C-alpha cells in the first residue's frame, strides 16, 4: 500500500512540476528567439489586445467583446502569415531539440580566416556574401549552388570571390567549419525600409538573416563597406574589429565546431 501512496504522491508533485517547468522553458525559449526580431512588436500588440479584452470582460462591454471575438480568428491567421519566418525559426529550433542545449564555444581561427579573406577581397575591390549557418539547417540554400565541402581557409574564400568564375556570383555557405557550398542563391529581403542605395547583394544577405538564424557577412563591391546581417537586421558598414567581436559572440551558438553538423 505504501509504495502505492508513494507513487501517487510522486505523481501529484512531479507531474505539475514537470508541467510548469516545460511550459516555462518553452515560453523562455520562444521569447528569447522572438526578442531579437520584429516579432517582439507582435507580443506587445497581443498583450495590449488581451488587456483590452480583460477590461471589456470585467466591465461587460458587450459590443467591444463581440467585436474582439469576431476579429480573433482573423487576427490569429493574419499574424501566422505575417510572422511566418519567426514561427518557422521557433518550430525548427524545437524540432532540432535545441531547447535544452547549452551554448558551445566558437572557433576563433575560423572567424580569422574569413576576416583575412574579406580584407584581401576588399583591397581587390571585390564583393562577397558569406553565410555562417547556426542551428537552422541551410541545405535547401546550399542545393541552389555548387557543393564544395572544402576546408575553411582564407585562400579558398579569396579565390571563390576573386575570379570571374561561376562561383563568385552568389553566396558561400559555411557550416561545420567547412565551406559547404558556393554560388548559392538567397531569398531577397522584402524590406520597404531598407536603404534605397543597398542593392541585391545586401537585400539577399538580409533576406537570409530574416528567414533563418544564419549570420551573414556582406562585403560591398562598390564601396568596400563590410556589413553583418542577423536576426532580421542589417548592420551596415562596420569596422573589422566590431565584426570580429560580433561573429565570435554570435557563433558561440553555432554547431560549427561539432564535426557531425550537417548543412
Q: Are strands 128-132 and 215-219 parallel, antiparallel or unpaired?
A: antiparallel
Binding region for ligand ATP (CB under 6 A) out of 5-13, 14-22, 78-86, 220-228: 220-228
Burial class (CB in 10 A: 0-12, 13-18, 19+), 112: middle
Grid cell of 212 as nine digits: 533563418
Binding region for ligand ATP (CB under 6 A) out of 4-12, 151-159, 221-229, 248-256: 221-229
Residue nearest to ligand ATP (CB): 199
Binding region for ligand ATP (CB under 6 A) out of 16-24, 32-40, 58-66, 219-227: 219-227
Q: Is 222 in the site for ligand ATP (CB under 6 A)?
A: yes
CA distances (Å), 154 to each of 67, 121, 141, in order? Answer: 60, 10, 22
* Smallest separation, CB 173 to ligand ATP (Å): 11
Q: Is 200 in the site for ligand ATP (CB under 6 A)?
A: yes
* Smallest separation, CB 180 to ligand ATP (Å): 15
Nearer to ligand ATP among residue 39 and residue 114 (C-beta)? 114
> 201, 209, 210, 215: which one contacts ligand ATP (CB under 6 A)?
201
Nearer to ligand ATP among residue 39 and residue 209 (C-beta)? 209
| Nearby residues of 119 by Cβ (< 8 Å), 6 or more positions away | 240
Q: Is 156 in the site for ligand ATP (CB under 6 A)?
A: no
Q: Is 188 in the site for ligand ATP (CB under 6 A)?
A: yes
Residue 119, φ and ψ in degrees, nearest 5: -60, -45
Within 42-71, the residues that bind ligand ATP by CB under 6 A are none
Q: Is 158 in the site for ligand ATP (CB under 6 A)?
A: no
* Smallest separation, CB 81 to ligand ATP (Å): 23
* Smallest separation, CB 255 to ligand ATP (Å): 23
> 137, 170, 176, 177: which one contacts ligand ATP (CB under 6 A)?
170
Nearer to ligand ATP among residue 39 and residue 137 (C-beta)? 137
Handedness of CA 10, 11, 17, 18 (dihedral sign): positive
| Nearby residues of 10 by Cβ (< 8 Å), 6 or more positions away | none
What is the Rg, in whole angstroms, of the alpha carbon atoms belonging to the chain?
Answer: 23
Q: Is 171 in the site for ligand ATP (CB under 6 A)?
A: yes
Q: Which spans of this chain sit near ligand ATP (rule: CB under 6 A)?
A: 127, 129, 169-171, 185-186, 188, 198-202, 204, 220-223
Amino acid at each position: 500500500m505504501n509504495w502505492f501512496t508513494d507513487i501517487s504522491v510522486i505523481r501529484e508533485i512531479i507531474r505539475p512540476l514537470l508541467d510548469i517547468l516545460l511550459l516555462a522553458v518553452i515560453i523562455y525559449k520562444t521569447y528569447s528567439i522572438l526578442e531579437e526580431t520584429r516579432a517582439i512588436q507582435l507580443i506587445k500588440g497581443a498583450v495590449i489586445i488581451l488587456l483590452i479584452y480583460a477590461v471589456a470582460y470585467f466591465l461587460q462591454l458587450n459590443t467591444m467583446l463581440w467585436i474582439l471575438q469576431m476579429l480573433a480568428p482573423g487576427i490569429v491567421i493574419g499574424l501566422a502569415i505575417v510572422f511566418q519566418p519567426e514561427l518557422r525559426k521557433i518550430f525548427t529550433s524545437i524540432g532540432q531539440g535545441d531547447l535544452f542545449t547549452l551554448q558551445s564555444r566558437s572557433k576563433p581561427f575560423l572567424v580569422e580566416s574569413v576576416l583575412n579573406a574579406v580584407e584581401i577581397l576588399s583591397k581587390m575591390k571585390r564583393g562577397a556574401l558569406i553565410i555562417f549557418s547556426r542551428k537552422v539547417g541551410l541545405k535547401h540554400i546550399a542545393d541552389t549552388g555548387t557543393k564544395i565541402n572544402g576546408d575553411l581557409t582564407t585562400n579558398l574564400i579569396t579565390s571563390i570571390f576573386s575570379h570571374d568564375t561561376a562561383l563568385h556570383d552568389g553566396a558561400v555557405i559555411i557550416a561545420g567549419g567547412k565551406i559547404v557550398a558556393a554560388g548559392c542563391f538567397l531569398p531577397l529581403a522584402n524590406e520597404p525600409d531598407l536603404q534605397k542605395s543597398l542593392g541585391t547583394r545586401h537585400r539577399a544577405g538580409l533576406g537570409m538573416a530574416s528567414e533563418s538564424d544564419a549570420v551573414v557577412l556582406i562585403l560591398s563591391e562598390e564601396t568596400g563597406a563590410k556589413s553583418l546581417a542577423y536576426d532580421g537586421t542589417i548592420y551596415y558598414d562596420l569596422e573589422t574589429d566590431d565584426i570580429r567581436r560580433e561573429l565570435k559572440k554570435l557563433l558561440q551558438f553555432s554547431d560549427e565546431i561539432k564535426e557531425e553538423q550537417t548543412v
